């Protein structure tokens, strides 16, 4: 039997941008993932149950960003290859057995970003997907995790305090330019001591800005940074 799901958190403050569309995202429209399809190929039931509680709470929060667009998660499974966590467009999330639960929160925002105009427009804004998922993870960890700051949040906080030159020096250029530094740029602009509710409000405001621009790319100019689209774009 799956572990009991905790009571729903208090409702967040209503965003300034289109709340009626948010209300269209419901459990009736997007049925919850059954426990039988959640990390069923692992052998640590205690870890599975702990991740399940965070998954349920994280997915509930992610859906509030989705307007009437959401790609349902149909399975979460352990994988031995690839990134620590990886979402695919068919609704499957793969997780390495050693991955911490925060990476699951990151993957839960991919269905939101992929269904949004930032991705579907097919322009430069799509390069911000990993950073936006990281920002959701950052604020979700504050509200959903017992430890604060988490080890991962602390690593982001260190980059927030750096200059661009400092943050992008040294190796691991793809990870720094695609994931870490653009995450720090967003958090620096918002402020680290914010909440999911505030990030949700910013998300809707950015979507509105994109629509007002006629659907063209807006994020590079707004944040003053251009994440790489592909690994081939990154200097070696």
Segment 105-132, tens digit of pLDDT: 999 999 999 999 999 888 999 999 999 9
Burial of residue 194, with CB atoms counted within 10 A of its CB: 0-12 exposed, 13-18 middle, 19 or more buried: middle
pTM for this model (two decimals): 0.86
Q: Is the pLDDT of residue 9 over 50?
A: no
In this prediction, residue 24 carries a pLDDT of 42
Q: Is the pLDDT of residue 35 over 50?
A: yes
- CATH says 19-221 is which class? mainly alpha
The conformational region for residue 108 under phi > 0 = left, psi -120 to 50 = alpha, else beta, is: alpha
Euclidean distance between CA atoms 164 and 161, whole angstroms: 10
In this prediction, residue 148 carries a pLDDT of 77
Segment 54-112, tens digit of pLDDT: 999 999 999 999 977 888 899 999 998 777 889 999 999 999 988 899 999 999 999 99
Residues whose CB is less than 8 angstroms from the CB of residue 74 and which lie 6 or more positions away in sequence, other chains included: 33, 37, 90, 91, 92
Structure tokens given for 203: 């998300």
8 versus 104: which is more confidently predicted?
A: 104
In this prediction, residue 31 carries a pLDDT of 57
Residues whose CB is less than 8 angstroms from the CB of residue 161 and which lie 6 or more positions away in sequence, other chains included: none
Kindly report whether the peptide bond that precedes residue 149 is cis, defined as omega within 30 degrees of 0: yes
């Amino acid at each position: 039997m799956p572990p009991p799901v905790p009571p729903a958190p208090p409702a967040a403050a209503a965003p300034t941008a289109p709340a009626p569309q948010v209300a269209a995202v419901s459990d009736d429209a997007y049925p919850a993932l059954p426990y039988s399809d959640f990390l069923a190929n692992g052998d640590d039931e205690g870890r599975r149950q702990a991740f399940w509680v965070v998954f349920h709470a994280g997915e509930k929060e992610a859906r509030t960003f989705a307007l009437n667009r959401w790609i349902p998660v149909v399975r979460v499974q352990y994988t031995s290859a690839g990134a620590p966590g990886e979402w695919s467009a068919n609704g499957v999330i793969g997780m390495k057995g050693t991955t911490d639960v925060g990476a699951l929160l990151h993957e839960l925002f991919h269905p939101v970003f992929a269904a949004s105009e930032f991705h579907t427009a097919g322009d430069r804004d799509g390069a911000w997907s990993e950073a936006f998922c990281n920002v959701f993870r950052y604020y979700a960890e504050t509200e959903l995790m017992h430890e604060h700051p988490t080890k991962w949040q602390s690593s982001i906080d260190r980059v927030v305090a750096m200059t661009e030159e400092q943050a992008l020096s040294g190796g691991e250029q793809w990870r720094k330019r695609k994931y870490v530094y653009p995450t720090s740029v967003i958090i620096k602009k918002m402020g680290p001591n914010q909440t999911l509710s505030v990030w949700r409000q910013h998300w809707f405001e950015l979507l509105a800005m994109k629509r007002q621009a006629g659907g063209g790319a807006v994020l590079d100019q707004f944040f003053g940074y251009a994440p790489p689209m592909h690994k081939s774009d990154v200097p070696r």
